[in-house]
Structure 1
Amino acid sequence: MEDLISNVLFTASIWALPVLIAITMHEAAHAYVANMLGDPTARLMGRVTLNPFAHIDRFGTIILPVLCVISGWALAGTPFVFGYAKPVPVAVSRLNNPRRDMMLVAAAGPAINVVLAFCAAVLLHTVSWFPEWFSAWWQATLINGILLNLVLAVFNLLPIPPLDGGRIVTGLLPYELAVRYSKLERFGLFIVIGLMFLLPYIGREIGVDLSYAMQIVMFGVKNLLHFILMLTGQI
Structure 2
Amino acid sequence: MAELIATLAIWAIPVLLAITLHEAAHGYVARAFGDRTAERLGRITLNPIKHIDPVGTVAVPVGILTLSTLFGGPAMLFGWAKPVPVDPRFLRRPKQDMFWVAGAGPMINLAQALVWALLFKVAFLFGPGGSWLALARMSDAGIHINLILALVNLLPIPPLDGGRMLVAALPYRLASWVARLEPYGMVIVLLLLFSGGLSMILWPLYALFRQFFLSLVGIGV
TM-score under structure 1 normalisation? 0.88
Measure how far apart 1:35 and its partner are: 0.6
> Is the CA contact (8 Å cut-off) linking 2:127 and 2:133 kept in structure 1?
no
1:144 is aligned to 2:129: no
1:59 is aligned to 2:44: no
How do residues 138-217 of structure 1 correspond to structure 2 at under 5 angstroms?
138-197=135-194, 199-200=195-196, 211=197, 213-217=198-202
Measure how far apart 1:175 and its partner are: 0.7
Measure how far apart 1:80 and its partner are: 3.6
Opposite residue 177 of structure 2, the aligned amino acid is: R
TM-score under structure 2 normalisation? 0.94
CA distance, structure 2, for counterparts of residue 229 and residue 125 of structure 1: 8
Distance 1:193 1:172, change over 3 A: same
Measure how far apart 1:72 and its partner are: 1.9
RMSD over aligned Cα atoms = 1.5
Measure how far apart 1:179 and its partner are: 1.4
1:220 is aligned to 2:217: no
How do residues 98-109 of structure 1 correspond to structure 2 at under 5 angstroms?
98-109=94-105
Opposite residue 133 of structure 1, the aligned amino acid is: G
In the alignment, what sits opposite 1:26? 22
Measure how far apart 1:18 and its partner are: 0.9
In the alignment, what sits opposite 1:229? 214
Opposite residue 228 of structure 1, the aligned amino acid is: F
In the alignment, what sits opposite 2:85? 89
Q: Secondary structure at the match of 2:181?
A: helix
Structure 1: tracts of 5 or more residues without a match: 201-210
In the alignment, what sits opposite 1:205? none
> Is the CA contact (8 Å cut-off) linking 1:73 and 1:79 kept in structure 2?
no
CA distance, structure 2, for counterparts of residue 48 and residue 164 of structure 1: 18
> Is the CA contact (8 Å cut-off) linking 1:70 and 1:79 kept in structure 2?
no
CA distance, structure 2, for counterparts of residue 108 and residue 13 of structure 1: 28
- How many residue pairs get aligned? The number is 219
Q: Secondary structure at the match of 1:188?
A: helix
Deviations 1:92-150 (A, max 9, x none): 11111111111101110000000000001111232254783212211101001001101
Opposite residue 45 of structure 2, the aligned amino acid is: T
CA distance, structure 1, for counterparts of residue 4 and residue 75 of structure 2: 10
CA distance, structure 1, for counterparts of residue 121 and residue 170 of structure 2: 43
CA distance, structure 2, for counterparts of residue 158 and residue 78 of structure 1: 21
1:7 is aligned to 2:3: yes
Larger Rg, first or second structure (1 or 2): 1
CA distance, structure 2, for counterparts of residue 52 and residue 140 of structure 1: 22
